[in-house]
A = this chain, B = another copy of it.
Amino acid sequence: MAHDPGAPLRVALLGCGVVGSSVARMLVEQADDLAARCGVPLELVGIAVRRPGRPRPDVPVDPSLFTADAEELVTRADVVIEVIGGIDPARGLILRAMEHGASVVSANKALVAEDGPTLFEAAAKHGVDVYYEAAVAGAIPILRPVQESLAGDRVHRVMGIVNGTTNFVLDKMDGTGAGFAETVAEAQALGYAEADPTADVEGFDAAAKAAILASMAFHTRVSAADVYREGITEVTAADIRAAQDNDCVVKLLAICERVTSDGSDAVSVRVHPAMVPLGHPLASVREAFNAVFVESAAAGELMFYGRGAGGDPTASAVLGDVVAVARHRVAGGRGPGESAYADLPIVDLGQAVTRYHISLDVADRPGVLAQVATAFAEHGVSIETVRQQAGPDGDGRAKLIVVTHRATDSALAATVEALAALDAVEGVASVMRVEGA
């Protein structure tokens, strides 16, 4: 859709929370730079909020720009920025904006991960852009590099720390030795975790981002429902200590892998806590930072690191997209749309292959190791190292710590079941995947 040369582009903002406030402020404060970079001025024509009358001293715009009528606002904009979040009403507003010819920039990971194809198809139909760099890893440019810079390469694996809250919690647990509940409470007090932390600690947020990353990396539609998901609520101080003993740290990882299934390429996407060896670049990602590690055939190993959340960092990603879609409006044409041509099958977790760290409480008597080793062998899981820790003197108990070679999740699950049934095994204290070795 060609644009009148020189005429300002009309920008509408949906939502004015933490991210929206930053976007509005940057649109005003950097107006000259944005105009030079877009080729035309950007004119903020309205901000849709629930309560337009509420004073917002941190948003330096004419108060008459606030409106409760988002439905009307999206019909009079060239570019609509959606930072409301959630599925509805965001989806309806985005679709309505595109019907009226607007390009859309969104930070909405939940919506893109649940129903991206509906948005992409509407964008294609109406000849507009829908961009959402801010939906994954906040300020870190990761979608554009995967979609564009690596377009001539073949991505093998994308492995990311994409949720700042859980990384903050796990990093603190690693530093203090404290347990999960206590550390979440501390994160809440510091503003790193929400009052209801479910979306973060149960891995829903990371799973949405994993779906978006996998879709782009493998040119295949992957939705949040396709992602195996395990949060960090079961990670104990003992798990963290076990990781330390194994020269690892525990991280919540979003892993998108190209795998082989029945002789053909397929995709495995999963979110779970994992031990990461200290020498791996992801191990040193501290506090609430995010990082995404990409392995591809030609480029080799790449890592992208930065702030994954927060008003200004997310607004930086939003405005980068705004400049891109604005340039397209000015020049005519669209950016690269959805690419789902590869349409690879998505395998379930059982086919995912990785290494495991298993900690067993066993009886301290001869022959136990042989029984345990046999259980692994019978399920085709090969042991890399095994370490035995005697319990307190004379209590007749010991701990066996086993690290396996690469095995499928289904083989490992069957092994763990068999181990639990052994007389000599009093309990399976923990099972954790080891990634990035």
Contacting pair B300 A312 (CB below 8 A): yes
The answer to whether the Cβ of A141 comes within 8 Å of any Cβ in the partner chain is: yes
- Bound together, the chains give a CA A320 to CA B146 distance in angstroms of 10
Mark out the residues of chain A between 111 and 145 whose CB falls within 8 Å of any chain B CB in the assembled complex: 133, 139-141, 144-145
The answer to whether the Cβ of A296 comes within 8 Å of any Cβ in the partner chain is: yes
Q: Tell me which residues across on chain B come within 8 A of A139, comparing CB atoms.
A: 298-300, 302
Least CB distance from A402 to B in Å reads: 30
- Bound together, the chains give a CA A301 to CA B323 distance in angstroms of 21
The answer to whether the Cβ of A317 comes within 8 Å of any Cβ in the partner chain is: yes
Contacting pair B300 A341 (CB below 8 A): no
Contact partner, A306, options B34, B36, B299, Cβ 8 Å: B299
Contact partner, A144, options B145, B298, B307, B317, Cβ 8 Å: B145
Given A37-B339, A154-B30, A316:B331 Cβ within 8 A: no
Contacting pair B301 A316 (CB below 8 A): no
Kindly supply a per-residue 1/0 record for chain A positions 264-302, scoring 1 wherever the CB is within 8 Å of any chain B CB and 0 otherwise: 000000000000000001001000000000001111111
Least CB distance from A59 to B in Å reads: 15
Kindly supply a per-residue 1/0 record for chain A positions 303-315, scoring 1 wherever the CB is within 8 Å of any chain B CB and 0 otherwise: 1111100101101
Kindly supply a per-residue 1/0 record for chain A positions 30-45, scoring 1 wherever the CB is within 8 Å of any chain B CB and 0 otherwise: 1001101100000000
The answer to whether the Cβ of A221 comes within 8 Å of any Cβ in the partner chain is: no
Contacting pair A305 B303 (CB below 8 A): yes
Q: Tell me which residues across on chain B come within 8 A of A141, comparing CB atoms.
A: 141, 144-145, 148-150, 302
Most buried by B among A37, A141, A307: A141
Q: Tell me which residues across on chain B come within 8 A of A317, comparing CB atoms.
A: 149, 299
Least CB distance from A158 to B in Å reads: 13
Least CB distance from A112 to B in Å reads: 17
- Bound together, the chains give a CA A141 to CA B312 distance in angstroms of 22
A residues near B (Cβ < 8 Å) are 22, 26, 30, 33-34, 36-37, 133, 139-141, 144-145, 148-154, 219, 281, 284, 296-307, 310, 312-313, 315-324, 327-328, 331-334, 336, 339, 341-342
- Bound together, the chains give a CA A260 to CA B199 distance in angstroms of 44
User: Which residue of chain B has its CB nearest to the CB of A152?
Assistant: B319
Q: Tell me which residues across on chain B come within 8 A of A322, comparing CB atoms.
A: 152
Given A151-B319, A152-B318, A332-B333, A300:B327 Cβ within 8 A: no
Given A144-B148, A312-B298, A332-B332, A319:B36 Cβ within 8 A: no
What copy number does this chain have within its complex? 2
Q: Tell me which residues across on chain B come within 8 A of A302, comparing CB atoms.
A: 139-141, 304-307
User: Which residue of chain B has its CB nearest to the CB of A301?
Assistant: B306
Least CB distance from A21 to B in Å reads: 12
Contacting pair B151 A324 (CB below 8 A): yes
Q: Tell me which residues across on chain B come within 8 A of A305, comparing CB atoms.
A: 281, 302-305
Contact partner, A320, options B133, B148, B300, B316, Cβ 8 Å: B148
- Bound together, the chains give a CA A296 to CA B306 distance in angstroms of 11
Q: Tell me which residues across on chain B come within 8 A of A316, comparing CB atoms.
A: 150, 152-153, 296-299
Contacting pair B304 A300 (CB below 8 A): no
User: Which residue of chain B has its CB nearest to the CB of A146?
Assistant: B141
Given A284-B284, A336-B327, A33:B299 Cβ within 8 A: no
Given A139-B300, A299-B307, A320:B144 Cβ within 8 A: no
- Bound together, the chains give a CA A22 to CA B34 distance in angstroms of 38
Contacting pair B341 A36 (CB below 8 A): yes
Q: Tell me which residues across on chain B come within 8 A of A148, comparing CB atoms.
A: 141, 144, 320, 323-324
